[in-house]
Amino acid sequence: MKRIVLFILTNLAVMLVLSATLQILGVNRFLSQQGLNVQMLLVFSLIVGFTGAIFSLLISKPMAKWSTGATVIDPQAPNGPREAWLLDTVNQLADRAKIGRPEVAIYEGEPNAFATGAFRNESLVAVSTGLLDSMTEEEVTAVLAHEVAHIANGDMVTLTLIQGVVNTFVVFLARVVGYFVDRVVLKNDKSTGPGYYITVVICEIAFGLLASLIVAWFSRRREFSADAGSAVLLSSREPMMRALARLGGLTPGELPKSFEASGISGAEGLAAMFATHPPIPARIRALQEMRVA
């Protein structure tokens, strides 16, 4: 989840900064003085929208390392048998997935892991000490396979494209609403007034939050695909099911048969709409229903 949250926040920050910069340079004023030139506004929106998304993708690896304090394992000199095993396991999984061997890192924290990077052959897989300490090697391997599947599926690139598209709509619609408020509601027909700028900023933030629902929905769909990818890479769905069960607080082997009675649930209500990961019971159920050749 960390990689998705960082991506969204970085993208939103870049988009707002770029939008403010263009406003200071007078681009917004120029657009408004043209009336509502839809073609020009759309080009402007595409540039602002995709710049934020692409920049967020390009800095995803250093941002992830910095934010988690992750230490990259030296492939030539791993520190101890655990690092050597971790590096070898990720390399084997990457070879099976036919992608370049990613950097492997460890960071302090609760049980978790993530994969990120702009390019599938130059990515990063990071694992927390909490996960390494609380899971068996088979379960850790399943989680690593899940992260390698994210890379092989090109999830970060696809996420960037989706984020760029929703950003474009955010920028475009915010200015359409701003123009409407300035000219129709406030009756300002001489020049761009403060109502336009204030409305644009408020709408960009509000529409950006709504757009994050789409990104979160996509992220939840890709988690199911990565779970399935883990099962394919390991030729078994059981390791990933056990890893999910442990993450959900169940003892090893206690895979739930009745999910309603299992006591494991994801976010509910409004929080569920912004969640980047599906509930663990739903993920286990999807694995139970899939066929592994």
Q: What is the pTM of this model?
A: 0.77
Question: What interhelical angle do 194-234 and 280-289 show, nearest 10?
Answer: 40
Report if residue 56 sits inside a domain.
yes
- 150: annotated binding-site residue? yes
Question: What interhelical angle do 2-24 and 155-180 show, nearest 10?
Answer: 40
Report if residue 10 sits inside a domain.
yes
Report if residue 34 sits inside a domain.
yes
Report if residue 188 sits inside a domain.
yes
Report if residue 148 sits inside a domain.
yes
Degrees to nearest 5, angle at CA 238 with 140 and 288 = 130
- 277: annotated binding-site residue? no
Residue type, 187: K
* Structural domain count, the chain: 1
Place of tokens 């910069």: 21
Identify any residues that bridge with 124 across adjacent strands, giving them in sequence order.
Answer: 103, 116
- 146: annotated binding-site residue? yes
Which residue segment(s) compose the domain that 174 sits in?
1-212
> Can you give the CATH number for the domain in which 69 is found?
3.30.2010.10
Q: What is the pLDDT of residues 215-244, one digit of tens each?
A: 888 888 889 999 999 999 999 999 999 999
Q: Any idea which residues carry the catalytic annotation?
A: 147
Q: What is the pLDDT of residues 138-174, one digit of tens each?
A: 999 999 999 999 999 988 888 888 888 888 888 888 8
Backbone φ, ψ for residue 280 (5° rounding) = -60, -40
Report if residue 140 sits inside a domain.
yes
Token digits of residue 200: 């644009």
Helix (H) or strand (E) holding 52: helix 38-58
Q: Are 85 and 137 contacting, i.e. CB atoms less than 8 angstroms apart?
A: yes
Report if residue 85 sits inside a domain.
yes
Which of residues 249 and 78 earns the better pLDDT score?
78
Q: What is the pLDDT of residue 44?
A: 79
- The string of DSSP letters for 125-184 reads EEEEHHHHHHS-HHHHHHHHHHHHHHHHTTHHHHHHHHHHHHHHHHHHHHHHHHHHIIII
Report if residue 266 sits inside a domain.
no
